[in-house]
Structure 1
Amino acid sequence: MISTATSIAQQKFNNCIMNASGVWCSDEKELTIIDNSAAGTFVTKSGTLQPREGNPSPRYFETSWGSINSMGLPNRGLDYYLDFVQKLQQQKRQKHYFISCTGFNVQEDLLLLKKITDADFKGIVELNLSCPNVPGKPQTGYDFATVDMILKNVFENYAGPLGVKLPPYFDIVHFNQMAQILNKYPLAYINCVNSIGNGLYIDDEKEQVVIKPKNGFGGIGGDYIKPTALANVHAFYQRLDPKIQIIGTGGIKNGQDVFEHILCGASMVQVGTALMKEGPDIFERLTQELKTIMQAKGYSKIADFKGKLKYLA
């Protein structure tokens, strides 16, 4: 019997594959479809204190190698997602969900977490420290002192299971520095990576950019970022306290991609660009492809190969 089950923050999931925040999770209709799919669970759109329209369209464009987007955090507000998830939890007490939230400063982060505490939410919180597509707002995850300050304040005020969504890092020194900060706190997990910020894609025929916000600059996802995502997953797997688990995100479109993220140390994976392109039926396909690979290699559960990446002698 081959199982793709996993656990995060002592909460069990029957499948290690789910959506990435921002994809198929903007409203009740989309979240319900994900909930009824083969995905192990879902994470909501990153909720802010107030609903946001986001950036002007066109703000998402698919390419043969992935996608570019500059969404600007469109969402219905944290209260909307909290209400919906709580309704589901009342119906399905054995299923666990992720709520994503993001503030534009530490005060807003704390207000969002207070809302979650007051709502008696029983799932897992994902604090987004890595949105690269809000004009005028830098990625928090690249300001190490600010990340340290935010986490210090967060864990002084919030007691539930919480993970952070991180941007991609590109330097070994930065892996070391960020891991040193993350290891100071009782994080349930980290999620790496968000899209690579401020890429540019050009329509050769028209000699122009393909998205409107920020004069065409946007976050890059899909095949483009898989090597970067794998490197981040494995670098942090090597450096973090084993109590801090890892969710791998970036470039997953087939079972082999899922397998490689887990081999690098991920306990769970999230699918973004490929989910946007293919729709929620992708979860059934990815799960079957992963099981086929596991069967061929003689693995019955993800713990058999998680983090066991080999190096050249």
Structure 2
Amino acid sequence: MPTLETTFYGHTYDNPFMNASGVHCMDVTELDELASSAAGSFVTKSATADGRKGNPEPRYVNLDLGSINSMGLPNLGLDYYLNYAILRQKSQPDAPFVMSVASYQGFDEYVDNMRQIQDSAYTGLVELNLSCPNVPGKPQMAYDFEDTKRLLTEIFKFYTKPFGVKLPPYFDMQHFDKIANVLNQFDLKFVNCINSIGNGLYIDETTDTVVIKPKGGFGGIGGEYVKPTALANVRALKQRLNPTIEVIGTGGILTGRDAYEHLLCGASMVQVGTQLQKEGVHVFERLTAELLAVLEEKGYQSIAEFKGKLGTLD
């Protein structure tokens, strides 16, 4: 039997599957359910300094080929998730996970949040979410390359623990080059790509209205719609980043074959968002079985045999 074991930042996980931050990770109950599921690991909700209720409902809708959302960073605040992370790290030291951190106010809040984690007892991986596309009036940090460099420079002045960044999708080869040039200047442990494709619009064919309330119906698109874009971002960044920076692939994972393609493009771990929202945590049992079946069909005994070995038609 092949194995789905994968190594990410020096730890071997039973399989590469995680939730995507924002899905089934709001509180202790949901986080514990993830920890007890068939997923290899998990990530917490992206935390802002203070708790947030988020945007008005309806703000998430399942679609035939994915989802649209404009959540507005609802979360219980940095103190809540940091306390959870410290307690879980102490009680389960051999089961590492990722803590996600965001900002609603911008540059200074990012810095202050990271300083609070630096001063805490938590020593595990942190995901700095630079790609929050669904906060009205707030731009995405990672689309401003100079500001991203300025932010990382400031954080690395004091932060000594391991962390990586979550990125939005990029659509131009020059943008892949530019963001990689910025990230390669820092001792980042990973990049996570992609967040949802921002500012999509979906129309209800019966009512001729948008389907979510915030931002006049504009929201982030996830699910099947985004897989080609997600794969392109995983591939492009893996080709451009320092070998020491690993990639987490997120976007459009409905089946084990989808996960296989993310790994083929160079991802070390993969995250599931829309399909987890639709199916619940049992989705990880199905996905691991399907990914194992793909390996068996291909004759592979491990992920390492094909990871990053996407063929081209050159």
The TM-score, its normalising length taken from structure 2, stands at 0.98
- What is the CA–CA distance in structure 2 between the aligned matches of 1:41 and 1:234, rounded to whole Å? 22
> In the alignment, is residue 90 of structure 1 matched against residue 90 of structure 2?
yes
Residues 104-148 of structure 1: CA distance to partner in whole angstroms, max 9, x if unpaired?
Answer: 322211211122122221210000000000011011111111111
One-letter code of the match for 2:87?
K
List alignment gaps of at least 5 residues for structure 2.
Answer: none
> In the alignment, is residue 306 of structure 1 matched against residue 307 of structure 2?
yes
Which runs of structure 2 are paired with 1:2-21 in the superposition (5 Å)?
2-21=2-21
| Residue 268 of structure 1: how far off its partner (Å) | 0.4
Equivalent residue number for residue 164 of structure 1: 165
| Residue 165 of structure 1: how far off its partner (Å) | 0.4
| Residue 168 of structure 1: how far off its partner (Å) | 0.2
| Residue 264 of structure 1: how far off its partner (Å) | 0.4
Q: Is the 8 A contact 2:89 2:122 kept in 1?
A: no
One-letter code of the match for 1:24?
H
Q: Per the alignment, in what secondary structure is the counterpart of residue 148 of structure 2?
A: helix
Q: Per the alignment, in what secondary structure is the counterpart of residue 266 of structure 2?
A: coil
Q: Per the alignment, in what secondary structure is the counterpart of residue 156 of structure 2?
A: helix
- What is the CA–CA distance in structure 1 between the aligned matches of 2:119 and 2:157, rounded to whole Å? 16
Equivalent residue number for residue 146 of structure 1: 147
Equivalent residue number for residue 24 of structure 1: 24
Q: Is the 8 A contact 1:163 1:189 kept in 2?
A: yes
Q: Per the alignment, in what secondary structure is the counterpart of residue 138 of structure 1?
A: coil
Equivalent residue number for residue 78 of structure 1: 78
Equivalent residue number for residue 42 of structure 2: 42
Q: Is the 8 A contact 1:69 1:219 kept in 2?
A: yes
- What is the CA–CA distance in structure 1 between the aligned matches of 2:138 and 2:124, rounded to whole Å? 29
Residues 168-226 of structure 1: CA distance to partner in whole angstroms, max 9, x if unpaired?
Answer: 00000110111111111111000000000000000011010000000100000000000
| Residue 155 of structure 1: how far off its partner (Å) | 1.4
- What is the CA–CA distance in structure 2 between the aligned matches of 1:264 and 1:44, rounded to whole Å? 25
Computed over aligned residues only, the root mean square deviation of the Cα atoms, in angstroms, reads 1.0
- What is the CA–CA distance in structure 2 between the aligned matches of 1:259 and 1:306, rounded to whole Å? 9
Equivalent residue number for residue 223 of structure 2: 222
| Residue 305 of structure 1: how far off its partner (Å) | 0.6
Which runs of structure 2 are paired with 1:106-255 in the superposition (5 Å)?
106-255=107-256
| Residue 9 of structure 1: how far off its partner (Å) | 2.2
Deviates more, 1:7-16 or 1:49-58: 7-16
> In the alignment, is residue 68 of structure 1 matched against residue 68 of structure 2?
yes
| Residue 304 of structure 1: how far off its partner (Å) | 0.8
Which runs of structure 2 are paired with 1:47-58 in the superposition (5 Å)?
47-58=47-58
One-letter code of the match for 2:57?
S
| Residue 90 of structure 1: how far off its partner (Å) | 2.2
Q: Is the 8 A contact 2:114 2:159 kept in 1?
A: yes
| Residue 12 of structure 1: how far off its partner (Å) | 2.9
Equivalent residue number for residue 101 of structure 1: 101
Q: Is the 8 A contact 1:68 1:221 kept in 2?
A: yes
Deviates more, 1:91-100 or 1:66-75: 91-100
